[in-house]
Structure 1
């Protein structure tokens, strides 16, 4: 069985046996000058900045992957109540944190 990850408080059709801990994964990414230059040019005309969209999307996936790996290390079958948060750690760098409750299912 593969690890189940959900933002819900339960796993539909399954019963939670016990909580094994907090699963978390984070990544800190810094902007890149080349990407910033292109993004700055896009900012002049408005609209989406795909360079940053892609950077943040990749970062979220990496944080979620790290959270899942941590849950597996804890012996979990699922992660419930998953949340994502972001914060600026310095000029031009941000942390994305994924966390949730690692549980064993019956």
Structure 2
């Protein structure tokens, strides 16, 4: 499956638009990560536990979006975008969305 943040696939022509596809995941913080984040907040720097958590959540959201596109018979997903939001104090959502298309 081809997926891209651009509105088209270079060298290919879109034959049919199959609609918006989405994938999301809500990830909660781990108590251990919160403790390490609090300590890191005192000295500064990257909070690697959160970086890893968000990267994993992004990959899951992409996988779910691709699964939906494959279910519609898509060859590609164009114009992929990502958004995040806080669901509650200890949980965040990552949403991946794009347009599923058939290519010539």
Give TM class, smaller chain: over 0.9
Unaligned runs of 5+ in 1: none
Q: Aligned match of 1:35 in 30, 33, 36?
A: 33
- Structure 2 residue runs without a partner (length 5+): none
| Number of positions where the alignment pairs a residue of Structure 1 with one of Structure 2 | 104
Q: TM-score, length-normalised on structure 1?
A: 0.96
Q: Which residues in structure 2 correspond to 1:8-27 (within 5 Å)?
A: 8-27=6-25
CA deviations on 1:49-104 (whole Å, 9 max, x unpaired) are 10110011111111011111110011100000000000111111110000000000
SS of corresponding position for 1:76:
coil
Give the TM-score normalised by the residue count of structure 2.
0.97
Report the Cα distance in structure 2 between the residues aligned to 1:95 and 1:12, rounded to whole angstroms. Answer: 31
> After TM superposition, what 4+ stretches of structure 1 lie above 6 angstroms from structure 2?
none
